[in-house]
């Protein structure tokens, strides 16, 4: 049986009019580079798109995960794009490129990647979900709902192939060295939720069906952790297989109807709802957001991509979008106050600590009585 690897490698290498949208010339460059990758037999097929200011390279090949040639192709595409973006003075050109010396794969170099190696079934539908202005933990809630919540996924109850549940590989992304734990649902559901609720720390890396079949893969690259300082949110991508003994495409998409609150938005420092949008709305505007997710549906056929279908471009999500806009409006009224603004520790890589440390030496241990106030007794000797 031939194995096909789906690799989604993405980076923000510059965007138009601020952190809004990938400019057309970067799409053109990426398509040209990946076409050469097909001609040179590095990849089988590709599709280029964007989630807001992130350039997304969707590729299929037979070389397995973390493959040097495939990662090099993506990385060099980002480097060439960065050069062009700098030439045209596009905003934040090369934002996610932390080093221009390639060392085997893109991990730790700035770009994010989600990969999955599959034995193609008789028919192989899957979704690629790509988010902007948020972090990998944004996928914790929907992935839990898809693979473990029977109120979301009817198949968990109705379909005997889903009945044995799913195994979650969860990563502690705050550790310097990658650190993972495997947990099974429904048996360990409360422990799974205890971890996944901490979205800034624990993220789902992969999901497998009870019998070992791989079903989902998420990028868990944490830009601020690899850069040692804040350099932008690590906008995540997820690959999710659908149907024939796995959650249906509609059960995958149902998980995005909440719209749940995620961290990110303006300056990577605010809480906001994750809005599912069609490609035409894949650009972050109001207060650099609100955070949004696009979904493309494909099938893989003998290693080639068939599709895509723009999954959230449907009136069925209008009610979700309306709710998200109302939530956004409500949250924005809080301005710089928590919980709209994230807590200090979630912003430790932003510039806020600099502002706070400038105030630090003005603090004294006794309550201050301002000069000239009624309680001020400094001139009472007369
Ligand atoms: C969030 C993001 C933007 C910027 C903001 C300030 O991920 O990229 O919200 O943080 O627009 O941008 P600078 O600092 O480039 O002016
Ligand atoms: Mg940007
Ligand atoms: Mg982005």
- In this predicted structure, what is the pLDDT of residue 288? 96
Q: Which of 173-182, 194-203, 306-315 has the lowest mean pLDDT?
A: 173-182
For ligand 1, atom 6, name the residue with the nearest CA. Answer: 267
Residues with CB under 5 A from ligand 2 (ion): 12, 19, 53, 92, 95
For residue 233, indicate whether it is catalytic: yes
- Which tens digit of pLDDT belongs to each residue from 112-166? 999 999 999 999 999 999 999 999 999 999 999 999 999 999 999 999 999 999 9
Average pLDDT over residues 312-318: 98
Q: Which atom of ligand 1 is nearest to the CA of 53?
A: 8
Residue 216's pLDDT band, with cuts at 50, 70 and 90, is: very high
Residue with CA closest to ligand 1 atom 3: 267
Q: Is 91 known to be catalytic?
A: no
pLDDT value at residue 175: 81
Greater pLDDT, 2 or 248: 248
Which protein residue has the closest C-alpha to ligand 1 atom 10?
Answer: 267
* Annotated active-site residue in 12, 54, 132, 288: 12
Q: Is the pLDDT of residue 169 over 70?
A: yes
Question: Which residues lie below 8 Å from residue 73, measured CB to CB, with a gap of 6+?
Answer: 33, 34, 37, 42, 43, 59
pLDDT surpassing 80 at residue 347: no
Compute, in angstroms, the gap from residue 225 CA to the centroid of ligand 3.
16
Out of 54, 149, 233, 349, which one is annotated catalytic? 233
What b/e sequence results for 220-250 when a residue is b if at least 16 CB atoms lie within 10 Å of its CB, and e otherwise? bbbbbebbeebbbbbbbbbbbbbbeebbbbe
Confidence check: pLDDT of 54 > 80: yes
**Rounded mean pLDDT of the chain?**
93
Ligand 1 mean position to 220 CA, how many Å? 21
Closest CA to 33 of 78, 83, 63, 82: 78
Whether the CB-CB separation of 270 and 113 falls below 8 Å is answered with no
Query: Is the confidence at residue 290, as pLDDT, over 90?
Result: yes
> Has this prediction a pTM greater than 0.85?
yes
Give the model's pLDDT for residue 382.
47
CB 214: neighbour CB atoms within 10 A?
Answer: 17
Catalytic pick from 45, 145, 206, 230? 230
Residue nearest to atom 5 of ligand 1 (CA): 267
Classify residue 212 by its DSSP letter. S
Pocket of ligand 1, beta carbon within 6 A: 18-19, 92, 133, 232-233, 266-268, 288
The pLDDT confidence band at residue 356, using thresholds 50, 70 and 90, is confident
pLDDT value at residue 379: 61
Q: Where are the domains of the chain?
A: 1-118, 120-348
Minimum-distance ligand 1 atom for the alpha carbon of 12? 8
Secondary structure of residue 159 in the 3-state scheme: coil
Ligand nearest to the CA of 294: 3
Are 58 and 6 within 8 A, CB to CB?
yes
For residue 349, what pLDDT is reported? 56
* Confidence band, pLDDT 50/70/90 cuts, at residue 352: confident
* Span from the CA of 335 to the centroid of ligand 3 (angstroms): 22
328 closest CA partner among 256, 274, 273? 273
Sign of torsion, CA 63 68 69 74? positive
Q: What is the pLDDT of residue 14?
A: 97
Question: For a substitution probing ligand 1, which of 13, 18, 272 has the most ligand atoms within 8 Å of its CB?
Answer: 18
Confidence class of residue 229 from pLDDT cuts 50, 70 and 90? low
Q: Which atom of ligand 1 is nearest to the CA of 133?
A: 7
Q: What is the pLDDT of residue 2?
A: 78
Most trustworthy range by pLDDT among 22-36, 107-121, 210-224: 22-36
CB 312 within 8 A of CB 293: yes
Atom of ligand 1 nearest to the CA of 91: 15
* CB contact at 8 A, 272 and 264: yes
What average pLDDT score do residues 64-83 get? 97
Q: What is the CATH T-level fold of the domain 1-118, as seen in this structure?
A: Alpha-Beta Plaits (3.30.70)
């Amino acid at each position: 049986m031939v194995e096909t690897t789906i690799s989604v490698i993405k980076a923000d290498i510059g965007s138009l009019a601020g952190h809004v949208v990938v400019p057309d010339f970067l799409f053109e460059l990426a398509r040209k580079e990946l076409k050469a990758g097909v001609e040179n037999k590095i990849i089988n097929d590709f599709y280029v798109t964007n989630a807001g200011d992130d350039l997304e390279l969707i590729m299929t090949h037979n070389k397995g995960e973390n493959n040097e040639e495939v990662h090099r192709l993506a990385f060099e595409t980002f480097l060439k794009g960065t050069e062009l973006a700098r030439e045209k003075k596009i905003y934040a050109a090369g934002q996610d490129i932390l080093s221009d010396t390639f060392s085997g794969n893109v991990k730790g170099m700035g770009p994010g990647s989600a990969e999955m190696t599959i034995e193609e079934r008789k028919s192989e539908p899957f979704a690629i979900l790509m988010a902007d202005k948020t972090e990998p933990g944004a996928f914790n809630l929907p992935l839990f709902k898809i693979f473990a919540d029977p109120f979301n996924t009817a198949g968990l109850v109705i379909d005997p192939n889903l009945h044995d549940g799913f195994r979650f590989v969860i990563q502690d992304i705050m550790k310097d060295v990658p650190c993972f734990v495997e947990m099974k649902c429904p048996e360990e559901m409360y422990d799974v939720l205890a971890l996944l609720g901490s979205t800034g720390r624990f993220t789902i890396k992969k999901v497998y069906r009870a019998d070992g079949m791989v079903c989902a893969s998420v990028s868990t690259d944490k830009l601020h952790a690899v850069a040692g300082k804040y350099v932008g949110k690590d906008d995540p991508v997820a690959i999710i297989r659908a149907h024939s003994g796995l959650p249906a495409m509609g059960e995958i998409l149902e998980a995005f109807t909440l719209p749940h609150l995620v961290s990110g938005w303006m300056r990577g420092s605010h809480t906001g709802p994750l809005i599912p949008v069609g490609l035409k709305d894949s650009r972050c505007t109001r207060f650099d957001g609100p955070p949004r997710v696009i979904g493309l549906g494909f099938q893989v056929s003998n290693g080639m991509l068939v599709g895509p279908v723009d999954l959230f471009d449907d009136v069925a999500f209008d009610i979700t979008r309306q709710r998200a806009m109302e939530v956004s409006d409500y949250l924005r009224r809080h301005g710089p106050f928590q919980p709209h603004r994230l807590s200090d520790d979630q912003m430790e890589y932003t510039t806020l600590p600099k502002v706070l440390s400038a105030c630090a030496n003005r603090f004294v241990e006794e309550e201050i009585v301002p000069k000239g106030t009624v309680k001020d007794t400094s001139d009472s000797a007369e």
